[in-house]
Structure 1
């Protein structure tokens, strides 16, 4: 049986306006203990495009600092699960993260972006009664290559409306 894998702690400042939720860190991220570590994952590119800053060229801690300055928080919808490999389709026995508890600590929060279908399927029901804009985003994962990058950039850029 596959081993149980756990999400990282949220990266969130009290003044965050946008929360971006993934599903569960993949193998590369777990190995490096950092969000979106796979070199072909487009997360840092897409968020950088949204805030008008090149995040890809920055060191990890500087990326996190840039998100905090932009008032973007990060977390995952799955607190822990069994999963062989990195694909969301392989997630089993998932324990969901307490999203409503985190959201309650972020008084300036305006929107939640779900990075991919699994994140949305798990997170939307938990936050459906909130006052927040819930935005489904195309996955930044290299496993989701069906959509051109320019289309992903356009859809992710909608988050900027909630940062101003």
Structure 2
């Protein structure tokens, strides 16, 4: 008998008033939910990619330092989904979606202007739940290839090229 899906509840955003960009995943996977950390699965390339693009090096060891690295570059981190039903970690298994409230987030953090959607599921959920935001001419939306190891057809060099265009990179 297959296991039944369980309710997944996402994290609060990592954000401050200086953020201009926000990276949105879909819903943290099982490893991330267990660790209570974004992108905690060791095979996910997110932190390695961010460290390389933003600071030209390896990711900081501690989770708090990783979040601070993003905030130094005015990048917030959150998810398209507030809660859902899912068995396992794959986006394809996500059901019964409750989206996060981005209108409220933009009211609280008006400097946000660029949305970086990490993968197809994050983009699809965001777009279906935020049609009015998509019409705003002061906001930019980038649908980017997922950093998940499940997205194996995108090599690290391919991810670097795709993501570089969307991020506020100084070097």
| Deviation of the 1:66 alpha carbon | 1.2
The DSSP-based 3-state class of the residue aligned with 2:37 is: coil
Runs of 5+ unmatched residues, structure 2 = none
Residue 113 of structure 1 corresponds to 116
Residues 45 and 147, structure 2, Cα contact 8 Å, conserved in 1: yes
Residues 114 and 137, structure 1, Cα contact 8 Å, conserved in 2: yes
What pairs up with 1:45-64 in 2 under 5 angstroms?
45-64=48-67
Partners of 1:133 and 1:55 in 2: how far apart? 28
Larger radius of gyration: 2
Moved over 6 A (4+): none
| Deviation of the 1:55 alpha carbon | 5.0
Residue 139 of structure 1 corresponds to 146
Runs of 5+ unmatched residues, structure 1 = none
Residues 118 and 147, structure 2, Cα contact 8 Å, conserved in 1: yes
Partners of 2:170 and 2:39 in 1: how far apart? 21
| Deviation of the 1:129 alpha carbon | 2.2
| Deviation of the 1:56 alpha carbon | 2.3
Per-residue CA deviation, residues 36-71 of structure 1 (Å, 9 max, x unaligned), is 000000011121222124352421111111111110
Residues 8 and 83, structure 2, Cα contact 8 Å, conserved in 1: yes
Residue 158 of structure 2 corresponds to 151
Residue 76 of structure 1 corresponds to 79
Partners of 1:55 and 1:79 in 2: how far apart? 30
Question: Compared with structure 1, are the counterparts of its residues 161 and 60 closer, same or farther at alpha carbon in structure 2 (3 Å cutoff)?
Answer: closer
